[in-house]
Amino acid sequence: MPETKALARFRLAGRIALLLLVAAGILWMVLHRNSLDAEAIARTIATVPAAPLFFLLAHLVASLIFFPRTVLAVAAGAVFGFWMGTLWAALGSVVGAIAGFLLARYVNNGLVDLESMRRFGPILLRAERGGWRAVAVLRLVPVIPHSLSNYALGLTRLDLGAYALGSLLGQLPMTIACADFGAAGETLAAGKAGWIEPTLVGLAVLVLSVAVPRMAGLRHRAAVSHPTSPQGEEGG
């Protein structure tokens, strides 16, 4: 039918336009990467009247163009303080993750077969079966970079709610650490006391966010390599 073909062409044009827009954003980010540090971002956010909403919008765009979310979390801590900075950075990371997820799902529309992807296909299929827990583990252990994982997980049949919950939980430790560093740095720059404790807390959270997933991975590999045999236990 002519209407069906016209609608298909319209959808294809929409997908191509979105891809070109994201590509233009990535190019802009690459060209301006030297000026996009946490301090400069924090100064810009602080001058905006609706700073939290502007931050969320910036986080959404940044997640689509492969800008590090950790830099934004540091900026959030510097502008809003530790508690509110953690809140807005965590919310922004989830909003950005959902945006990339939905964009990939819309553009893909069944075009990519995960089983044909040798490197990331098995990982994504396990995440699809594992639900929010698997997403949280992928976020804790950065097998795939943040923005790329947003797009990659959008190729799966994961439920949006499970994806959002797993992303929130998996991204939270690094978000807390970065927001804490940002708040401590702002306190130090202002010449105020009390920056040492937040810095130590941030370091502790950062170490735990790296150590715990690695320990879990080692235990999993050990269990796979040396499975417990019920018959062996009875024979002992």
DSSP for 149-176 reads: HHHHHTTS---HHHHHHHHHHHHHHHHH
Distance CA 3, CA 11 (A): 12
Cβ atoms within 10 Å, residue 30: 11
Count of domains for the chain: 1
Dihedral (Cα; 94, 96, 99, 105), 10-degree rounding: -80
What is the pLDDT at residue 33? Answer: 83
CA dist 223 and 57 (Å) reads: 44
Let me know if residue 210 belongs to a domain: yes
Phi/psi of residue 166, nearest 5 degrees: -60, -40
3 domain-assigned: no
Q: Is residue 198 part of a domain?
A: yes
The pLDDT value given to residue 223: 41
Q: Evaluate whether residue 151 is within a structural domain.
A: yes
pLDDT of residue 9: 75
Q: Is residue 21 part of a domain?
A: no
Domain-located, residue 4:
no
pLDDT (mean) for 28-50: 89
Domain that holds residue 57: 36-223
Q: Does residue 207 sit within a domain?
A: yes
Give yes or no for residue 118 having a pLDDT over 90.
Answer: no
Which residue did the predictor score with more confidence, 4 or 125?
Answer: 125
CA-wise closest residue to 120 among 140, 149, 147: 149
Residue 135 tokens read as: 């997403």
Backbone dihedral angles phi then psi of residue 150, each to the nearest 5 degrees: -60, -50
Higher pLDDT, 205 or 14: 14
Q: How many CB atoms within 10 Å of residue 164?
A: 18
> Model confidence over 59-77: pLDDT tens digits?
999 999 999 888 999 999 9
Task: Tell me which residue has tokens 């993750």.
Answer: 97
The residue among 169, 213, 172, 153 whose CA lies nearest residue 73 is 172
